[in-house]
């Protein structure tokens, strides 16, 4: 068959990296990205971009670990290259602290990040309200630069990008051989996924260049993540809320909580408030589906529902989605060669 035409719906970190993996794995494909929003207007642009995984109860741990390992290795290589600054990727060391010792002192990802160890008594003196902590080095993506870097690399390989709101995946059947659904929270409406729900996150971006280490409360609600130019302070997790309007009371609460972990933040300046809707479900939906109407078939690969863990596993799930696209193409080629017989 002629070069297979693949459409990727969605231009957040999952959509862009899935398109990248398809291009790298199947260079003969013609890949197009369709999205009603591109950076800087995606949910990914709001994300803190820290590589600290969140556990998905519906996905086996060994699978989540592989996704994280693939992502960490990919970004670590970029952080060690001349592209690191443009891509907005850097190593950052810090602490995850707990008021009580967690049941799981060694999380599944502890041997993927660098130098993971329990905090010493001397280190814990910095956090008088906390009794236990973990120190490690991980990677941080500054999200808008990383998305723009991915877009630039995709365009250089000939990937087309169009601003287009896709209301129904079936609408693409006459233009494309395979469709990949990376619509994030948009999949709730696009494919009617009732298992997908928003978890609203509000964060602050501040100017505090003296803050060099990340600090994360073990409950995952309060965190301080230094980027290249600004420090991200968080956060919130409001299940079921679709509101994208910043809440001033929440802004004050986030700032106060972060200052209790790092009092020097009282001197932070130029506070910007961002809100995003994490596309959450029990497990990431990463699977093939065959749509058909009147004898016409459209192979679809779904890759959405990453919740808070989009950046931590985006490359790993993109690799898997690209493999599934390869299966779809092989099936199409098999059916077209059988048709010739």
Residue 266 marked in a binding site: no
* Residue indicated by tokens 């659904």: 181
Report how many helices (DSSP H) and strands (DSSP E) the chain contains, helices first.
9, 15
Residue 44 marked in a binding site: yes
CA distance 46 to 235: 11
Helix spans in the chain (H): 13-25, 43-46, 61-79, 84-87, 121-124, 143-156, 187-190, 248-261, 310-340
According to the 3-state scheme, what is the secondary structure of 72-99? Answer: HHHHHHHHCCCCHHHHCEEEEEEEEEEC
- Quick one: how far is CA 25 from the chain centroid? 21
* Residue indicated by tokens 């209790």: 260
Output the six-digit token pair for 43: 């949910």
Contact call for residues 131 and 98 (beta carbons, < 8 A): yes
Residue 93 marked in a binding site: no
Output the six-digit token pair for 313: 């596993």
CA distance 309 to 23: 24
Query: Which three-class secondary structure state does DSSP give residue 264?
Result: helix
Residue 43 marked in a binding site: yes
Residues of the binding site for FAD: 43-44, 166
Residues of the binding site: 43-44, 166, 223, 278
Residues of the binding site for D-dopa: 223, 278
């Amino acid at each position: 068959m002629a070069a297979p035409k693949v459409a990727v719906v969605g231009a957040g970190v999952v959509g862009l990296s899935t398109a990248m993996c398809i291009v790298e794995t199947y260079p003969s494909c013609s890949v197009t990205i369709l999205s009603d929003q591109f950076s800087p207007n995606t949910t990914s642009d709001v994300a803190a971009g820290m590589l600290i995984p969140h556990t998905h109860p519906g996905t086996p741990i060994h699978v989540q670990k592989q996704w994280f390992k693939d992502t960490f290795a990919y970004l670590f290589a970029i952080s060690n290259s001349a592209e690191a600054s443009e891509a907005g990727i850097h190593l950052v060391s810090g602490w995850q602290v707990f008021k009580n010792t967690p049941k799981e002192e060694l999380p599944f990802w502890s041997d993927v990040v660098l130098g993971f160890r329990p905090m010493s008594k001397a280190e814990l003196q910095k956090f008088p309200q906390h009794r236990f902590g973990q120190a490690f080095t991980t990677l941080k993506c500054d999200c808008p630069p990383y998305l723009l870097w991915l877009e630039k690399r995709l365009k250089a390989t000939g990937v087309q990008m169009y601003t287009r709101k896709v209301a129904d995946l079936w609408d693409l059947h006459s233009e494309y051989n395979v469709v990949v659904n990376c619509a994030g929270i948009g999949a709730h409406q696009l494919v009617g996924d009732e298992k997908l729900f928003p978890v609203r996150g509000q964060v602050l971006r501040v100017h505090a260049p003296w803050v060099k280490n990340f600090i994360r409360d073990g409950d995952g609600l309060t965190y301080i993540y230094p980027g290249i130019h600004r420090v991200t302070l968080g956060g919130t997790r409001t299940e079921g809320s679709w509101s994208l309007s910043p809440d001033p009371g929440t802004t004050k609460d986030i700032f106060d909580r972060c200052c209790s972990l790092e009092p020097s933040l009282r001197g932070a300046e130029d506070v910007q408030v961002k809100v995003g809707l994490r596309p959450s479900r029990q497990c990431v939906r990463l699977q093939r589906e065959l749509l058909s109407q009147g004898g016409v078939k459209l192979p679809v690969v779904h890759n959405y529902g990453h919740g808070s863990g989009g950046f931590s596993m985006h490359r790993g799930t993109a690799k898997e989605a690209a493999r599934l696209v390869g299966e779809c193409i092989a099936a199409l080629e098999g059916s077209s060669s059988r048709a010739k017989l």
